Amino acid sequence: MAKFKWVLGIIFIGALLISSAPFLACLSPAVIQDEMPPEISITALDATVGVPTTIVVSAADPSGVARVMFTISSPSLEYEDIIENVTSFSDEASLTFAPGWAGTYTVEAMAVDNSPAQNMTPEATPETATFVVSAE
């Protein structure tokens, strides 16, 4: 008889869970259908040769930001020279450096979100900004 009551108890609990499934589904967190890469903002102020300046790249996305990456290119006349590559596993990355020569520098940034698709800024079209470094 005790075994029979135990089996009935399990059947009752199973039926209770099945019948309350729609209610439990309402309590689960909503899944964000994110198909866009993160929005990026770049802060790169004009500077003077030899004086430290800080570049800040931040990103925002409804599903969160997994990482932010950026490069700084120099104003070389002969070829494009990448001064620095920066990667941060958060929603913001920064670099402070003292520019070595005058000219217009370029910052190119990309970001990846936390969605299951890991949406990323396309490499062919990174977010860009420029800043001017003047001789003293």
Domains assigned to the chain: 39-134 (2.60.40.730)
- In this model, does residue 102 exceed pLDDT 60? yes
pLDDT score of 17: 46
Q: Please list, in sequence order, all residues whose beta carbon lies within 8 angstroms of the beta carbon of residue 91, skipping any fewer than 6 positions away.
A: 38, 58, 59, 60, 64, 65, 68, 111
Residue 90 CA to its chain's centroid (Å): 6
Q: How far apart are CA 34 and CA 88, in angstroms?
A: 21
The overall average pLDDT reported for the chain is 81
- In this model, does residue 116 exceed pLDDT 80? yes
**Contact indicator for 40, 127 with CB cutoff of 8 Å:** yes
If pLDDT is split at 50, 70 and 90, which confidence band does 127 have?
very high
pLDDT digits (tens, 9 = 90+) for 42-92: 999 999 999 999 999 999 999 999 999 999 988 765 556 778 899 999 999
If pLDDT is split at 50, 70 and 90, which confidence band does 12 have?
very low
Average pLDDT rounded to a whole number, residues 11-28: 48
- In this model, does residue 9 exceed pLDDT 50? no
DSSP the chain: -HHHHHHHHHHHHHHHHHHTHHHHHHHSPPPP---SPPEEEEEE--EETTS-EEEEEEEE-TT-EEEEEEEEE---SSS--EEEEEEESSSEEEEEE--SS-EEEEEEEEEEESSTT--B--TTS-EEEEEEEE--
- Count of residues making up the chain: 136
% of the chain at pLDDT higher than 70: 73
Residue 64 CA to its chain's centroid (Å): 7
pLDDT score of 101: 84
Half-sphere exposure of 134 (CA within 13 A, CB side): 4
- In this model, does residue 16 exceed pLDDT 70? no
